[in-house]
Amino acid sequence: MQSDTLELDIWRGDRDGQFQAFTLPLRESQTILDAVTEIQRTQDASLAYRFACRVGMCGSCAMIVDGIPRWTCRTRVVDVQRKGKRLKLEPLRNLPIVKDLAVEMRVFFDKWRDAKGYFEPGDTPPADFAVVAPSSRERRAADVAIECINCGICYSACDVVSWDDEYLGPAALNRSWTLVNDVRDQGQKSRLEAVAADAGCHSCHSHMSCTEFCPKALSPTQSIAGLKRETMRAALRGEV
Amino acid sequence: MIRPTHFKHGFIAALLHRLSGIALAIFLPLHFLALGTALRGADRLDAFFNLTHNLWVRTAEWGLVTALALHLALGLRVLVLESAGWRERTASLVSGCVAGSLAIGILFLLNAL
């Protein structure tokens, strides 16, 4: 018989914290974020977590649900709960825990900067709009990787990040790949040098966890492979 | 204590690739030592070959053949992923590599018996 209650174990505290049990009514189409919000509003106002848009756009509500990193606003309880069993919620891995389910994202975004994950217009702006054909090879390669919402799920799932604090991580490298394919960008040399360094794309072991768990169905593995090929070509040309 | 989960196909594939590589790296010097016995005459080489009829040595050979097939298959997987942009059906690809390697090992064993 289907239980009408939902039982959760939620991580409380910082790195040295522990799980706390909560019970609340099971509701139709209830998401994990709905459940956490209900607990915070009706049972424990001190429960810390992060969210903004609630519709899968902002990427701020990611958590570990039963061992799997997920965007909780788009994850329904009925889809992940195994036959009425308790659900375990933890903060994202590989990032410092601020409190409970909220993690410090500073390192994650610092690495975007370190991977030159920003558009570099160059010293002299072009006289006119750049024409980029939607069918061009570069535009299509960028399109495949462009929809990242910075949720940090790939960073949390990456084994290499857990071994090497310096590794730039899937999201930053994925962003870098979209810019490598931006024909308007004037900072390609420094970008390729940044991603070809020790903690860059060549550290990826192609475990594909980022691709497996990305809620937007992107493939950072494929983007990183593209960077590996591009940095190799640049090295053969003596550019990096 | 929050622990990472490693039961992911890509992780298992990388682990098997690494372990089979280490097994082959350990085997190679022994292999060259065995070949080196030929330099000391046919009798020495034949004496070594007689050792290979031992059941334990046969079993170790089966392990090596399986490790070699596994290392080759999983290495090709990485090449396909990174060169051809393959991203679909990771689980099937890893399972196929492991199953194919075990099949090659079993064929070797059947042939050796």
Domain boundaries, chain A: 5-103, 106-236
Residues from chain A contacting residue B83 (CB–CB below 8 Å): 225, 229
Here the tokens at position B54 are 């031992």
Nearest CA in chain B to A163: B4
Region of residue A12 (phi > 0: left; psi between -120 and 50: alpha; otherwise: beta): beta
| Geometric angle at alpha carbon A116, from A111 and A121, rounded to 5° | 150
Partner-chain residue, chosen from B4, B9, B90, that has the shortest CB–CB distance to A162: B4
Q: Chain B closest CA to A38's CA: distance in Å?
A: 24
pLDDT at B35: 85
Could you identify the residue written with the tokens 């042939």? B111
Q: Is A37 on the interface with B (CB under 8 A)?
A: no
Identify the closest residue of chain B to A16 by CA–CA distance.
B1
Counting Cβ atoms within 10 Å, is residue B45 exposed (0-12), middle (13-18) or buried (19+)?
middle
User: Which pLDDT value is given to residue B111?
Assistant: 82
pLDDT of residue A48: 98
Asked if residue A192 lies in contact with residue A185, where contact means CB atoms within 8 angstroms, the answer is no
Residues contacting A237, CB < 8 A, separation 6+:
none
In Å, how far is A171's CA from the nearest CA of chain B?
17
Which residue of B16, B87, B88 is the best one to mutate when testing the A interface, meaning the one whose CB has the most A CBs within 10 A? B87
Q: Return d(Cα A219, Cα A217) in angstroms, integer.
A: 7
What pTM did the predictor assign?
0.87
CB atoms A228 and B6 under 8 Å: no
Cα separation, A72 vs A63, in Å, equals: 7
Q: Quote the minimal CA–CA distance from A122 to chain B in Å.
A: 31
Q: Domain A5-103 sits in which CATH superfamily?
A: Beta-grasp domain (3.10.20.30)
pLDDT value, residue B5: 64
Question: DSSP states of B48-97 as a string?
Answer: HHHHTTSHHHHHHHHHHHHHHHHHHHHHHHHHHHHHH---S-HHHHHHHH
Which residues in A26-64 are b (16+ Cβ under 10 Å) and which e?
beeebbbbbbbbbbbeeeeeebebbbeebeeebbbbbbb
Rounded distance, CA A182 to CA B26, Å? 46
User: Across the interface, do A207 and B85 touch by the CB < 8 Å criterion?
Assistant: no
* A181 interface with B at CB cutoff 8 Å: no
The reported pLDDT for the residue numbered A80 is 92
Which chain B residues contact residue A140 at CB under 8 A?
none
Q: With an 8 Å Cβ cutoff, are B11 and A228 in contact?
A: no
Tell me A76's DSSP state: B
Which run of H or of E encompasses A19? strand A18-25
Domain residue spans of chain B: 11-112
Distance from CA of B85 to the nearest CA of A (A): 6
Q: What is the pLDDT along chain A (240 residues), one digit of tens a residue?
A: 457 899 999 999 999 999 999 999 999 999 999 999 999 999 999 999 999 999 999 999 999 999 999 999 999 999 998 877 899 999 999 999 999 999 999 999 999 999 999 999 999 888 889 999 999 999 999 999 999 999 999 999 999 999 999 999 999 999 999 999 999 999 999 999 999 999 999 999 998 899 999 999 999 999 999 999 999 999 999 988
Q: What is the pLDDT of residue A1?
A: 43
Question: Is some CB atom of chain B closer than 8 A to the CB atom of A156?
Answer: no
* Gap between the Cα atoms of A201 and A88, Å rounded: 33
A chain contacts of residue B9, beta-carbon cutoff 8 Å: 208, 212
Low-confidence ranges of chain B (pLDDT < 70): 1-7, 85-88, 90, 113
CB contact under 8 A, B83 and A67: no
Specify whether the backbone of A54 is left (phi greater than 0), alpha (psi in -120 to 50) or beta.
left
Pick the CATH number of B11-112 from 3.50.70.10, 3.40.50.1370, 3.90.1150.10, 1.20.1300.10: 1.20.1300.10
Q: Which fold has domain A106-236?
A: Fumarate Reductase Iron-sulfur Protein; Chain B, domain 2 (1.10.1060)
